[in-house]
Every structure is written in structure tokens, then in C-alpha cells.
Structure 1
Amino acid sequence: MLNGEKQIARPLRWAMVGGGRLSQVGYKHRTGALRDNTAFQLVAGAFDIDAGRGRDFGINLGVAAERCYTDYRELFEREAQREEGIEVVTIATPNGTHYEISKAALEAGLHVICEKPLFFTSQQAREIKALAESKGRIIGVTYGYSGHQMLLQMRQMIARGDIGEVRMVEMQYTHGFSASDSADKFEAQKWRVDPAIAGPSFVLGDLSTHTYYISQLVLPDLKLKSLLCDRQSFIASRAPLEDNAMVMMRYHGGAVGRLWTSSVNAGCMDAQQIRVIGSKASLQWCDTQPNELRYEVQNQPNQLLHHGMPYLDNAALADDRLGALHTEGLTDAWSNIYLKFALAMDAKNRGDEAALAAMIYPGIDAGLEGVRWVENCVRSADSGAVWVNYE
């Protein structure tokens, strides 16, 4: 169980690019990083494209005025001149800026934590992976939902054979907050439907990469063979970007999968879930009830496993924060992945490759795979919703 005690020698000196006052995700990053104040310390940032607003915001967070910078270039250059400059940076900016900022950060010798989807192309991701390896630095990708402990329980049970041979994977991440074009008038949404800034997709990259990574987390040995993607722009002005998509998948070994992602599921507040069906039983997890894992064995009563209980595997219990009596939520999940980022960075700094290899967290390979998955979905959809070999 986690209780905030330090797990590394000292907090890492941390900065943010983006994540300012008008950001939808900035506070999630800060609550994740600073929940265990023994892991990160926010000391600098370039928080906003409006430098004055960003400086005012940073000061209100407690960052020294002289360390609230105009942009990421000034941030990296000036911090490199300080004896105790930053060691890691979070990139919480629109998709189209991730590549250039990540590259600049690595060249400045910094560890990187980046929003998803990581980049526009898998080639960019491979280039950044090679650069990170040459610099001896870690890249973490903020698949925040993956920090829920019951997903690790799901992973352990599947690996142990509790559900038998995996046959089907059913996934969904939908909401209705973009059901009309009025949503596109807000600053936080405008860039998401602009291909020049968002990249080749809207909901495939913005939503379903979360759920696809969860499938990788709980099924690390299940590899895609081919897929078919059918995507729609129900709000015509969003074309060629989709606000709804359905993906069918075939895996090596014979298992099949299906994922529905949408921002036009009118009336739906949030529906993200994954169900893995085996030859003996099924497991189902939903982010609206993240403390529970549904275990259904054929010809037996259904079971509802609960977080924090002693019957869970050690891998799940290790991430528990509040105990079984109290409800945990998304902020706890973000805190878990940020703590793992810190542990990975510390291990990398110390050259402890054995410890690093044993860690489970969304790193550069998870980010690369998310970009690759979106590329294949777009290729299938733009070819007329046809089956394509997974490349």
C-alpha cells in the first residue's frame, strides 16, 4: 500500500510546458505528480502560449517569477544554466507540438512525460525513442486510466489462466460532449478537430488510445495481426477527422477484438470499459466503477472483486492508496503512473536496468504503439473501411 513515503532519494526537479489556466489536462498532471510530494517538485514552467498569463498562473502555483518562462526554448536554455535546473519536463500541449518539444527536451538532457497521442507518425516515435536511448532518458506517456490498480489485478488473473484461453476483447470509450458543433467553439476543443494541430484523427487518438493501451496492459502477449476501421464525421465540419469510429481486430493466435470510440454518443457522460472473454470465464472493468473488477465464471455465480482487499494479487495491492473502505478515482490513477515515472527515471539515472525492466508503466513503446495503431486505423478507414495487415 502506498502512503507517500519517499521511494527515491529526493524529488525530481520538474517543469511543465503547457497545462496552464485554460488547460483541460494541466491539473490532472499536477495532482498526479505532486500527490506524492516525495517524487516531483514543480520548480519551473512555460505554462501558456500567452506568456503574461502563463507567468501569472505559474506564480499562483508557487513557482518563482523568474522561472516562469515565455516558451519551452527559453525554459530549457535558462534552466540548463542553473546549478539545480530542471531534470524532467511534462509536455501538456496540443498534439502537433509534441515531437519538436520532446526532441528539444531530450537534447537538453531531460526526462520527458508527454500527453497522448505521442506524435503524428510512428517514424517520429521511433526517432524519439532512439534519441531517448542515446541520451539515457525516460519517456513516459500519460495514459492516466492505466494507473487504476484493478487493471493490474486483471493482468495477473489473465496471465495465471483464470479465464482460460483468450478469445475476445471488447472495448469502448465514448461520451456525448461533442454531439453538436457548438463544442468546437471552445478553445480546448478547437485544436482537436484541426488536422494541422491534432494530426490524422480526433477520437481515435484522443480517446481510444487510452483504451487500446489498457488492452496492452492487461494482455501484454496478445499481438495484432490485422484490423478494419470504419470512421465517421457526424459533424461535417470535422471532416476528415472522425468523431465516431468502430474498429474490428484480429490477433495472432485466433483471438478477435472490437473497439467503439465516439464523442457523439449523445447523453453519455462517460463510458470506457474493457471486457476480456476467455474459454472458461470473463473479466470486465469500467472506468466509472474503477474500484471493481467483474469476474464471471461459466456455470458459477458472478464475482465482484474490490480494490484493497487481501484476496487480490500483490501487484494490485502495491498500488492501493486509501484502503478498501474508501473509494479511489482518476487522481489516484494519475498519481500511480507519475510515481512509476519517477521510479523509472531514478532507476535510469542510477543505471539500474534490471529494476527498470521489471517496471510496468506507459513508456515510449506504449506511446509508439498507440501512434502505430492510429496510423493503421486511418489507413483502413481511408481505404474504404477494409481489412489491413497490421504494420
Structure 2
Amino acid sequence: MNKRKIRMGMVGGGRGAFIGGVHRMAAALDGQVELVCGAFSSNPERSRLSGEDFYLPTERVYGSYTEMIEKEKQLPLGERMDFVSIVTPNHVHYGPAKMALQNGFHVVCDKPLCFNMEEAEELVALVEETGLIFALTHNYTGYPMVKQARAMIEAGEFGDIRKVVVEYPQGWLSTKLEDDTEQKQADWRTDPSRSGIAGAMGDIGTHAENLAEYITGLEITELCADLTAFVPGRQLDDDGNVLLRFNNGAKGILHASQISAGEENDLNIRVYGTKGGFHWRQMEPNTLVVKWLDKPVEVRRTGVGDLYPAATAHTRIPAGHPEGYLEAFANIYRNFAHCVQARLAGETPDPLLMDFPSVKDGLRGMKFIEKVVASSNSKEKWTKI
């Protein structure tokens, strides 16, 4: 079978949505994915207008995700969508993901995986049952220097890992922005009926948790959390501090905040082993600062020198040209598309391109959210995951 572009149907992401545009740009960057249909809003008219914005045929723009999946399934194999990209608020992840899997469509889903643990466990079971490909867009794992750090740990360069410090401070919710009717992103993220049981910890704390486990290859086994809603009247946490214990005996600290006034998007991680450690910052993503117990500090740069194959495979442009958020996001879509293309062609995917967060990573994130909230509400010091 000749390889072709992978056809994407999108749920959510219409006019006024932030993350939908990011997904579309990331999916399109490598020319491997094309948007062929969508249910872009729960409002059918807004979905129709969004379809016009994307120059889609009117018959491929749907009023609901159920209509989209039902009608796309009736189209010939050479015409229907291959996968569903879900870019809705948290409470509308489970429904379209479940229906897509049940009808034979692969899935890309924004994080966190869904609204609660029950939904997450059912999606994991469905993926295992159907054998379909499921990617979760923890996009920060797509950076070349993140993959370089992971490869260095896997190779034992830092020795036994002892300490992990991961932080994600933002300042955009330092005021009660959700009271402004124009601030839709703030509105749903602070609403328990749409966001779930956690605010900042569910929105960005899960990115920090995922990054820590992805880079180190370790799993968090216990935690002790303290969550706060600092802004008066806010229903969900806007700041959180978590002590971590990992399955190899390492200890860690995770801090996620959306009321750190003046901060932009400073996700960063420091990891220390018996031989050395490193520091990586999302706001300077092409740089990995490596520190040794008995040698001078080294600075590794994207595209420069002898990097591990995983880093090189996800480097797109010559050194010195900034690679950032969209390129890292696109690496997930590129790898996902490669695996779907290989499936369609009956081929084995390149192992370097099978690297993207899965539904099981989503389950880890949901467990993290659940236990962080339980720990913060408990009088006990440690909560087992």
C-alpha cells in the first residue's frame, strides 16, 4: 500500500479556541496529516462557521462528535478520517475518545486524559481491547533536549538518580480572570464541572509529573501535597506543592502554580544522580545544562555535537535557529502519524518514532491528580499511588 497523508477529524477547537489552533499547526507541520472533517463546537452553527474558516466541505463539518463519527464511519476507507483529535475542555475528552475507539478510529487527545479515574481506566481498557493507537499530547516530551536528558539517564551517565525537582510556575491567574466573560480559557479551567477535581495541578501539574517520569524513567509511588486556592472565591487550586517519592528510592519536589505573578510559562526540571545532573527549562528549550561531580559544567545545545539518536531524530532545523513549542508539539503528531502509516502499510514503525505519550501515561496523570487532591485534603502525611 502506498503511504499517504493521515486524515484527521477534530472535536472542539473552533473559533475562539486556543489549543485547537496549536493542534492544527502541529499536525500540519510535517505534511503528514490533513484535516478532513470536524465537530468544532457544541454549538452547530459555530462548528459550521469554523469549518468555513478551515475551507472544509460543508458535508464534512458536523454539529456533534457523535454525528461526525457515525457519518465518517459510513464513508469508504479511502475517504474517511483515520483518527480523531480531541481538543475540548477536560469533561469532553472521554465521550469522543470512547466512541472513536469503539468505531475503529485512532485517537490523539489533549491532556489530562479525561475527567476522572473511572473514565481513564475504561479508556485504557478500550485501547488494549481494540489495539488502536492513542497519543496524549504531553507536548513537552517532544523537545530534543528533553530526549537527550532521558537518553543520558538511560545510558547511566548520571549514575543512580537521587533527586528530582520539577516546577511549573505561571502567573496568568493571579486575579479572578474567570469573572471576565471574554476569558473562556480561565472560565473552564477554574470550573469543577468542566475541569475536574483539580485546577492548576490538573492543568499544568500533570505536565510536570509527566515530564519527571518521562525523563527519569521512574514512577512516583508516594506523595505529600499541599494545594491552595489563593484567589478569593476560586473553586479549584491555583497553587500546589508536592513532595515525591520514586520507585527507586529517589526523592523529589513538584511545584505548580498559576498565581506566581510575573511568571510566563517556566516549566523546568533539575535531576541529580550519584555522578552528576542537569537543568532544563522550557523557556530556553534548546539548552541542556549538565553538571558533573568531578568535571566542569557542560552546555549541550540542540543540533550541536554528538547527541543521542533520540535527540537527533527530533531536531528539525540547523543549530542556532530556535526550535520551540510548536516543533515539540509537532514531534508528537509526526510520530503518531508515522505509526498509523506503518499500521496501514503493514510495516514495523521506526523505534525512534514510536516515542509519544500514551493512554497509560494519561492514566498515570489521572492517578496523580486524584492522589494529590486526596493528600492535600488528608491529615495523613503520605498518600500511596
**Equivalent position of 1:228 in the other structure:** 224
Q: Is the CA contact 1:380–1:386 (under 8 Å) kept in the aligned structure 2?
A: yes
Q: Which runs of 5+ in 2 are unaligned?
A: none
Q: Distance in 2 between matches of 1:13 and 1:385?
A: 49
Q: Deviations over 1:210-264 (max 9, x none)?
A: 12111122112x222210010000013223x200000101112321010100100
Q: Is the CA contact 1:54–1:68 (under 8 Å) kept in the aligned structure 2?
A: yes
Q: Is the CA contact 2:177–2:186 (under 8 Å) kept in the aligned structure 1?
A: no
Q: Is the CA contact 1:231–1:246 (under 8 Å) kept in the aligned structure 2?
A: yes
Which of these residues, 44, 57, 60, is aligned with residue 64 of structure 1?
Answer: 57
Q: Distance in 1 between matches of 2:88 and 2:322?
A: 31
Q: Distance in 2 between matches of 1:355 and 1:341?
A: 11
Q: Is the CA contact 1:348–1:356 (under 8 Å) kept in the aligned structure 2?
A: no
Q: Deviations over 1:285-313 (max 9, x none)?
A: 10000001000112432111000113111
Q: Is the CA contact 1:151–1:218 (under 8 Å) kept in the aligned structure 2?
A: yes
**Equivalent position of 1:207 in the other structure:** 204
Q: Deviations over 1:25-69 (max 9, x none)?
A: 0111011100011x2110100112222222122222121122111
Alignment of 1:253 with 2:248, yes or no, is yes
TM-score, normalised via structure 2 length: 0.94
> Could you tell me how far 1:356 is from its partner in structure 2?
6.8
Alignment of 1:187 with 2:184, yes or no, is yes
> Could you tell me how far 1:355 is from its partner in structure 2?
5.6
- Aligned residue type for 1:104: M
- Aligned residue type for 1:41: E
Change in Cα spacing, 1:303 to 1:184, as seen in structure 2 (3 Å) is farther
Q: Is the CA contact 1:22–1:188 (under 8 Å) kept in the aligned structure 2?
A: no
Q: Which moved more, 1:57-66 or 1:333-342?
A: 57-66
Alignment of 1:282 with 2:281, yes or no, is no
Q: Distance in 2 between matches of 1:315 and 1:355?
A: 11
Could you tell me the percent identity over the aligned residues?
35
**Equivalent position of 1:40 in the other structure:** 33
Q: Distance in 1 between matches of 2:320 and 2:262?
A: 31
Q: Is the CA contact 1:201–1:374 (under 8 Å) kept in the aligned structure 2?
A: yes
Q: Distance in 2 between matches of 1:129 and 1:119?
A: 11
Alignment of 1:238 with 2:196, yes or no, is no
- Aligned residue type for 1:346: Q
Q: Is the CA contact 2:338–2:353 (under 8 Å) kept in the aligned structure 1?
A: no
**Equivalent position of 1:99 in the other structure:** 94
Change in Cα spacing, 1:228 to 1:33, as seen in structure 2 (3 Å) is same
Q: Deviations over 1:263-298 (max 9, x none)?
A: 000111221101101112111110000001000112
**Equivalent position of 2:359 in the other structure:** 364
Which of these residues, 15, 39, 42, is aligned with residue 49 of structure 1?
Answer: 42
TM-score, normalised via structure 1 length: 0.93
> Could you tell me how far 1:136 is from its partner in structure 2?
2.4
Q: Which moved more, 1:338-347 or 1:324-333?
A: 338-347
Q: Which moved more, 1:42-51 or 1:117-126?
A: 117-126
Q: Is the CA contact 1:308–1:323 (under 8 Å) kept in the aligned structure 2?
A: yes
Match of 1:237, SS? coil
Which of these residues, 83, 102, 112, is aligned with residue 88 of structure 1?
Answer: 83
Q: Which runs of 5+ in 1 are unaligned?
A: 1-7
> Could you tell me how far 1:112 is from its partner in structure 2?
0.7
Instruction: Please show how residues 64-143 of structure 1 align to structure 2 within 5 Å.
Output: 64-83=57-76, 84-143=79-138
Q: Distance in 2 between matches of 1:384 and 1:62?
A: 55
Spell out structure 1 runs of 4+ moving beyond 6 A: none
Change in Cα spacing, 1:125 to 1:182, as seen in structure 2 (3 Å) is closer
Which of these residues, 153, 162, 168, is aligned with residue 158 of structure 1?
Answer: 153
Alignment of 1:381 with 2:376, yes or no, is yes
> Could you tell me how far 1:176 is from its partner in structure 2?
0.5
Alignment of 1:20 with 2:17, yes or no, is no
Change in Cα spacing, 1:229 to 1:351, as seen in structure 2 (3 Å) is farther
**Equivalent position of 1:29 in the other structure:** 23
Q: Is the CA contact 1:121–1:371 (under 8 Å) kept in the aligned structure 2?
A: yes
Q: Distance in 1 between matches of 2:179 and 2:381?
A: 30
Aligned residues: 380
Instruction: Please show how residues 229-378 of structure 1 align to structure 2 within 5 Å.
Output: 229-239=225-235, 241-349=236-344, 359-378=354-373
Q: Distance in 2 between matches of 1:196 and 1:120?
A: 9
Q: CA RMSD in A?
A: 1.8
